[in-house]
Amino acid sequence: MRGLTLRLRASGADMDSALSRFAGDEALYEECFGMLLEDPAFAALDKALKAGNLSEAFDAAHALKGVTGNLGLTALYQAVCALMEPLRARDCSALEGRYQALLAAKAALEALR
């Protein structure tokens, strides 16, 4: 395994499943991982939350859920899922803490790159 995939595995990412979806192509996986960290859905989520637009925030989170799941990024996937539930329920009380947890999970992945 390459450096990034080893670091991701050590951080709890489900690299076996993720790499199977990429037919074992670690270079392609790493390219997609880099694209995720720059995904405009993160900015859209931030903008929608700041504007109080829960529908758009939900859509952005839903997009991130699919990508993070396919990449096997367990911590970020779980953080996105935890944020989606209050968005789905239109419950603003839990959004800030869960959004901060999502940002922390993303920052941890950025540090591994």
CATH number, position 22: 1.20.120
Tell me how far apart the alpha carbons of residues 95 and 72 are, in angstroms, rounded to a whole number.
24
Question: How many folded domains does the chain comprise?
Answer: 1
Q: Which long-range contacts (CB under 8 A, 24 or more apart) does 22-29 make?
A: 26/1, 26/2, 27/2, 29/5, 29/71
Task: Please identify which residue in the block is written with the tokens 């209050």.
Answer: 86
Contact 74, 86 (CB under 8 A): no
Residue 1 — pLDDT band, cuts 50, 70, 90? low
Q: What is the pLDDT of residue 38?
A: 96
All residues at 6 or more sequence positions from 27 whose CB lies less than 8 Å from its CB, including other chains: 2
Q: What is the pLDDT of residues 31-58, one digit of tens each?
A: 999 999 999 999 999 999 999 999 999 9
Q: What is the pLDDT of residues 64-108, one digit of tens each?
A: 999 999 999 999 999 999 999 999 999 999 899 999 999 999 999
Q: What is the pTM of this model?
A: 0.94
Range of the domain at 78: 3-112
